[in-house]
Amino acid sequence: MAEFDETNKKITIKLVYYGPAMSGKTSNLMRLHDMLAPDLKGEIMTLETQNDRTLFFDLLPLGFRTPSGWLIKLKLYTVPGQVVHDATRKAVLSRADGVVFVADSQQSQGVNNSEAFQNLEENVSRVGLDFETLPLVVQFNKRDLPNILTESEIKTRWAAAPWPLVLASALDGTGIKETFIQLLQAVYPILNQQVALDDVHGMDMPAFISAVVGD
């Protein structure tokens, strides 16, 4: 549930990019940071190991004010994909308001994708969230590489999944903002139910998304 601070008139929303190691979670945030309006975003914070892999998490803060004068802050995190960092993944996932699962499109990464998605489902339950109602978007990244699953193969394999699927390439920016907008569209109805964004704060879904992405 979003953090609601009535004293300071602030609502904080936590969004998490989850997925296997090296699937492009950090690249998603860095590319998104490039695409968003400068007056909306803070500096992206990244902690890396010597091998350029995320050790703890990345954080991209965004913020804007509603017509009612409240500050809405969005905090975007990534989790480390390596198996040994499961405790960190759970800590970052705790109290998340929405998740992007970043899968690797390469044919060789099917097992890693499956294991990471299963880990996401398990950790969502462990931190007290409901996997059935958690806003979730599945992104297949690295569409610029050779030996990737075709769009048809992905859609067939995920035909029964209820979540939006987005094909992306963090390298050239394809699908990055679209993924984020899909997540915002999934998050908004729940947020609106929690804090009456439309009725009290004067922000319907189009206005909310426009305020976040700066279009």
**82-99, pLDDT tens digit by residue?**
777 788 889 889 999 999
The C-alpha atoms of residue 41 and residue 174 are separated, in whole angstroms, by 20
- Residue 23 near residue 14, CB atoms below 8 Å: no
Which H or E run contains 154? Answer: helix 151-157
The C-alpha atoms of residue 99 and residue 136 are separated, in whole angstroms, by 5
Q: Is 19 left (phi over 0), alpha (psi -120 to 50) or beta?
A: left
Query: Which of 136, 2, 178 is closest to 73 using CA atoms?
Result: 2
Q: Average of pLDDT values for 176-187?
A: 97
- Single-letter amino acid, residue 100: V
Q: Average of pLDDT values for 61-71?
A: 90
Least confident of 33-37, 153-157, 184-188: 33-37
State the pLDDT confidence band at 30, using cuts at 50, 70 and 90.
Answer: confident
Which H or E run contains 113? Answer: helix 110-126
Backbone angles phi and psi of 89, in degrees to 5: -60, -45
Which H or E run contains 166? Answer: strand 165-167
CA dihedral 76, 55, 47, 71 (to 10 degrees): 20
Q: Rounded to two decimals, what is the model's pTM?
A: 0.92
pLDDT confidence of residue 160: 94
Least confident of 44-53, 66-75, 169-178: 44-53
The tokens describing 26, both together, are 């950090």
The three-state secondary structure class of 141 is: strand
Backbone angles phi and psi of 13, in degrees to 5: -115, 135
pLDDT digits (tens, 9 = 90+) for 115-124: 999 999 999 9
Sequence-distant (6+) residues with CB within 8 A of 38 are none
- Residue 29 near residue 9, CB atoms below 8 Å: no
pLDDT at 49 over 70: no
pLDDT at 47 over 80: no
The tokens describing 38, both together, are 């400068």
The C-alpha atoms of residue 137 and residue 116 are separated, in whole angstroms, by 14
Would strands 98-104 and 3-5 be described as parallel, antiparallel, or unpaired? Answer: unpaired
State the pLDDT confidence band at 185, using cuts at 50, 70 and 90.
Answer: very high
